[in-house]
């Protein structure tokens, strides 16, 4: 099957909301969709199959005080006070049921992590996400990509579906709470040095999102790598490089679209 990767726009708000209601058991505030799609600091990438939205990731790099209270309190003991540390939170990652086990979730996760790693290669980076304790498939995928379970959060999700008018007031028509536990998963990344710096360099080259000057700086930073390591990583990356999108630190909208064939 062929899937096209693109960036959803504000005019796709209703489509994104319908997708989330179908894929995720927890619901989100109606205003959140418009904010997320219009905000340039929010990373959002989707896959489409024959025009249909089938997979979506939403993430953000922000100072801890900018996160909502629930996220802050759940990760309080794990957040670093290092002002240079980049902290990225994955808000959403979902794939429509008929298109699961095609590798789309992994590709979207890698895309987000590569974007962050390429934008801030020389500082420590942390990735956080929440996942329902009963979502075994998602948990296994996160483990494969280097995430570790950091915390159990009781009653973190509320799966009850509330009508737009009564959700906030709790009036007639509001569903009773349906709480589910969640795990907080974390992945820590050290500053890129030597060979790791070269990997970041190749990510930038793959997506043509880094200036020539920045590339030159990365090459200079990698001078400690031996010629044998350079040849090995050059060959490896040329053969295995995937055309995943990389954005600069502003996480502005990606304009280009690409087609990815997944068997």
Q: All domains of the chain, ordered by start, with CATH?
A: 2-261 (3.40.630.30)
- Calculate what percentage of the chain has a pLDDT beyond 70: 58
Q: Is the pLDDT of residue 17 over 60?
A: yes
Q: Is the pLDDT of residue 39 over 80?
A: yes
pLDDT at 257: 39
pLDDT at 231: 56
Number of Cβ within a 10 Å radius of residue 111: 21
* CA dist., res. 217 & res. 213, Å (int): 6
Asked whether 258 and 245 are in contact (CB, 8 A), the reply is: yes
Q: Is the pLDDT of residue 102 over 60?
A: yes
**pTM, rounded to two decimals:** 0.67
Strands 148-158 and 179-189 come out as antiparallel
* CA dist., res. 222 & res. 202, Å (int): 12
The predicted-structure confidence for 211-249, as pLDDT tens digits, reads as follows 444 444 544 444 444 555 555 554 554 444 444 444 443
> Distance from first CA to last CA of the chain, Å, rounded?
6
The predicted-structure confidence for 40-90, as pLDDT tens digits, reads as follows 889 999 999 999 999 999 999 865 555 545 454 545 555 555 666 788 999
* CA dist., res. 132 & res. 139, Å (int): 8
* CA dist., res. 41 & res. 147, Å (int): 23
* CA dist., res. 127 & res. 142, Å (int): 11
């Amino acid at each position: 099957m062929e899937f096209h990767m693109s960036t959803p726009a504000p005019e796709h708000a209703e489509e994104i909301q319908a997708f989330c209601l179908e894929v995720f058991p927890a619901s989100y505030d109606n205003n959140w969709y418009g904010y997320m799609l219009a905000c340039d600091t929010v990373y959002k990438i989707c896959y489409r199959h024959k025009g249909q939205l089938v997979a979506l990731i939403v993430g953000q790099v922000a100072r801890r005080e900018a996160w909502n209270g629930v996220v802050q309190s759940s990760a309080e003991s794990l957040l670093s006070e290092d002002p240079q540390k980049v902290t990225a939170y994955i808000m959403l990652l979902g794939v429509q049921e008929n298109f699961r086990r095609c590798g789309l979730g992994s590709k979207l996760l890698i895309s987000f992590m590569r974007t962050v790693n390429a934008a801030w290669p020389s500082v420590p980076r942390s990735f956080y996400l929440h996942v329902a304790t009963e979502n075994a498939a998602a948990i296994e995928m996160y483990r494969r990509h280097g995430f570790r379970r950091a915390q159990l959060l009781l009653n973190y999700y509320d799966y009850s579906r509330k009508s737009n008018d009564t959700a906030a007031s709790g009036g007639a028509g509001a569903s009773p709470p349906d709480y589910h536990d969640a795990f907080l998963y974390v992945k820590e990344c050290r500053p890129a040095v030597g060979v790791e710096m070269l990997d970041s360099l190749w990510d930038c080259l793959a997506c043509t999102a880094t200036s020539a000057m920045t590339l030159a700086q990365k090459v200079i930073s990698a001078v400690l790598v031996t010629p044998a390591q350079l040849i090995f990583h050059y060959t490896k990356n040329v053969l295995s490089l995937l055309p995943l999108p990389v954005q600069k630190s502003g996480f502005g909208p990606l304009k280009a679209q690409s087609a990815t064939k997944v068997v």
